[in-house]
Homo-oligomer: A and B are copies of this chain.
Amino acid sequence: MPLTPSWVESANDADCPFPLNNLPYGVFTTNSLEPRCGVAIGDRILDLQAAEEAGVIAIAEDPVFDVPYWNDVMDLGPEAWGALRARLQELLAEGSAEQATVAPMLILMAEARMELPIVVTEFTDFYAGKHHAMNVGSMFRDPENALPPNWLHIPIGYNGRASTVVVSGTDIHRPNGQTKAPDADAPGFGPCKRLDFELEMGAIVGGTSEMGQPITVQQADDMIFGYVLLNDWSARDIQAWEYQPLGPFQAKAFATSISPWIVTKAALEPFRTSTPERERDLLPYLQEPGPMLYDIALSVTLAPEGRDPTTIAETNYDQMYYSAAQQLAHHASSGCAMNSGDLIGSGTVSGPQKTERGSLLELSWGGKDPITLSTGEVRSFLEDGDTLTLSGHCQGDGFTIGFGSCTGTVLPAKTFP
């Protein structure tokens, strides 16, 4: 599939993350506009509230863009999603008869501030990157037996915290928590000393599954509205002390950042790729009817306060062992009801090479092998003032499907009131 040209000229550059082929969905505000839904095209955002009010877009009987979140659209399901995308392509395509009507509804992206695109109903995080699980297992379990016994059979996940999912650009306070050094007699409480990021993709669920009712992998894939970049900020020292036997809790509860633009499944369609060969056959309820991963190039930069960023990792979402559709099918398998606005973290994306590791835990091998930044500074974990940025894109033939970035700066821990 080649670039589809738009009358918004900036959208036609081969490097532009937001060509007509992409059309990602977000929520934005400006100095004069209240928060509202928009779609990115080139260096502009089409104001969908204005477009709906003007009657240029009508995908449901009642308005869906009178609220500053995408959940209402997500509730409408795949047919409406397809109709919206088709209409947007029509409006924004080169030669559109409606250019004069639509042009005044475009906002300069540089003048907009992005907000969370959805009301996050619940957040679930998985552990589906095999290289990541092997690396972590080698550090904390046994290099000869790094994967947990269930890992090749279950997309292992845990429920995270929705209340602290924030949009890219939100500063992150270093968490406080209980930690205990291996040789200490008792734990202490204070700011985390091993603050980390995790490079993930987030899948956004549209539609509902009924309580008690399992769904197939195909149904699960049909229920995915789109994808974002996701940083699962992690406090490794808090995690080490708390996670047995009930899993990560406060170590992950303080913040999760997502990129502001939801890249739809339709935009990603040309980049579908298969999960890898299975070492053990999956149970039938987890078998995919077709490719459900995506070829998405991912990178991570770290910039100390006031310094230039260094690229510290580059990898690809195609490294995952389980797709989001498999994860969602597993999530619903017990009869767990899924809803529009549920956010599914992929788990840390790491590739086989050292430079492809999606966390500082792996990059610095638990702090034993600190990384050196281009500025000369050294990092095992994140320092206050550090800015961590995830980026991602799919490379088409003459065009790019960009996710934009997911960034956050670490602030010092807060104290008790």
Q: Which residues on A are within 8 Å of B, measured CB to CB?
A: 121-122, 127, 148-150, 153-154, 156-164, 166, 172-173, 175-178, 180, 186-189, 211-216, 219, 235, 238, 241-251, 253-255, 280, 283-285, 330-331, 333-339, 342, 411, 413-417
CB-based contact B164/A335 at 8 Å: yes
Complex contacts, A333 vs chain B, CB 8 Å: 176-178, 189, 250
Which B residues touch A250, using CB under 8 A? Answer: 330-331, 333-334, 336
A127 to B246, CA, bound (A): 9
Please give the distance in Å from A233's CB to the nearest CB on chain B. 10
Distance in angstroms between the alpha carbons of A373 and B261 in the assembled complex: 57
B417 pairs with A219, CB closer than 8 A: yes
Contacts of A253 in B (CB 8 A): 159, 331, 334-336
A83 to chain B, nearest CB (A): 25
Partner of A246, one of B186, B241, B247, B336: B247
- Give CA–CA (A235, B177) in the complex, Å: 31
Chain A binding surface, main DSSP class:
loop
Is there contact, CB below 8 Å, between A334 and B245?
A: no
Query: What's the Cα separation between A21 and B322 when bound, in Å?
Result: 55
Contact A249:B414 (CB < 8 A) given known A178-B283, A244-B150, A336-B254: no
24 pairs of residues in contact across A and B, judged by CB atoms under 8 Å:
A122-B161, A148-B244, A149-B244, A150-B178, A150-B242, A153-B178, A157-B249, A161-B336, A163-B211, A163-B339, A164-B336, A166-B211, A173-B213, A176-B333, A176-B334, A177-B334, A189-B333, A211-B255, A214-B414, A214-B416, A235-B334, A246-B247, A250-B330, A254-B335
Which of A159, A216, A339: most chain B Cβ within 10 A? A159
Chain B residue nearest to A189 in the complex (CB): B283
A253 to B214, CA, bound (A): 12
Q: Is B211 a contact partner of A164 (Cβ separation < 8 A)?
A: yes
Closest to A281 in B: B186
Q: Are A214 and B176 in contact (CB under 8 A)?
A: yes
A416: chain B residues at CB < 8 Å are 214-216, 285
- A337 near B285 with CB under 8 A, answer no
Q: How far is the CA of A109 from the CA of B188 in the complex (A)?
A: 51
Q: With A and B bound together, what is the CA distance between A394 and B189 in angstroms?
A: 36
Besides A243-B246, A251-B334, 20 new A-B residue pairs in contact (Cβ under 8 A), listed by A number: A122-B163, A127-B246, A148-B244, A150-B178, A150-B241, A156-B246, A158-B246, A159-B253, A163-B338, A164-B335, A172-B212, A173-B211, A173-B212, A178-B283, A213-B414, A214-B415, A215-B416, A250-B330, A250-B331, A253-B335
Contact B212 A254 (CB under 8 A): yes
A211 cross-chain contacts in B, Cβ below 8 A: 163-164, 166, 173, 254-255
Q: Give the docked Cα–Cα distance between A257 and B154 (Å).
A: 27
Contacts of A243 in B (CB 8 A): 245-247
How far, in angstroms, from A63 to B255 measured CA to CA in the complex? 34
Q: Which residue of B lies closest to A163 (CB)?
A: B337
With A159-B159, A176-B334, A212-B254 as contacts: A246 and B244 at CB distance below 8 Å: no
Q: Which has the most chain B C-beta neighbours within 10 Å: A121, A154, A284, A331?
A: A154
Choose one: B121, B148, B187, B285; the contact of A245 (CB below 8 Å). Answer: B148
Determine the distance from Cα of A367 to Cα of B244 in the docked complex, in whole angstroms.
24
Chain B minimum-CB-distance residue to A338: B163
A154 and B255 contacting across the interface, CB-CB below 8 Å: no
Known: A186-B153, A212-B414, A336-B253. A162 touches B284 (CB 8 A): no
Within the complex, the shortest CB–CB distance from A357 to chain B, in Å, comes to 19
A213 partner residues in chain B, CB cutoff 8 A:
173, 414, 417
